[in-house]
Amino acid sequence: LLKFFDSGHIVVLPMSFYLDAEVDFLGRYERIDEDWKHISDVPLPHVNKGERGPWQQHLNEEMQDMAARYYAEDFARFGYELR
């Protein structure tokens, strides 16, 4: 993960990087079933369901701090909690 942060790898760029203008709707992954209905009448199949829990439980404290700094604008802009 550190090498991706250091390289600016596109997979981990903050979402704010892509949103340089106002948008009229921004769907959230954590409520994808509900938000999908705003953009399509086609049902969204649910495959490979898993229970992963909060992102914080997958990272040690150092990595959580790194993510909090790197994604600070996303946390603020989209109303996510750091801890």
Q: What is the pLDDT of residues 9-66, one digit of tens each?
A: 656 778 888 887 778 888 888 888 899 999 999 998 878 777 777 777 777 888 888 8
Cβ neighbours of residue 20 under 8 Å, at least 6 residues apart? none
Of the CA atoms within 13 Å of residue 15, those in its CB half-sphere come to: 12
